[in-house]
Amino acid sequence: MKSLPQTFILLSTLLFSSFTHADANSNVGPWVKHILTETLSVNYMEEKDSVDKVNENYTFNAWEAIVSFLGGYMDVIRAKQLTIHPVFVGDPVIVKSGYSSGIRF
């Protein structure tokens, strides 16, 4: 199991990469909730096509972080026939916005 700080860094990276191209007038909260739920929901019968569809929502670096995080557990998930589905304790909120390298986040 990954440590809590590593998990926090992963989720922060995911959220940051999701917001870098966000329109200030759009409601990104429901979109983030949907994408993270799709991404972090794992089934032992997962097909490559469904993984490729989720991959389209991430930058290369963010996707590599997800693969390295979840990829190490896929053998256990398949062996024990597990289904993992995250549950949010609240709705996502934007806690900070600005510009990084000329890109709005």
pLDDT of residue 72 exceeding 60? yes
User: What is the per-residue pLDDT across 28-52, written as a single tens digit (0 to 9) for each?
Assistant: 888 888 888 888 888 888 776 767 7
Average pLDDT of the chain is 76
Distance, CA of 95 to CA of 65 (rounded, Å): 22
Distance, CA of 41 to CA of 93 (rounded, Å): 21
The predicted model scores a pTM of 0.56
Q: How many CB atoms lie within 10 A of CB 65?
A: 19
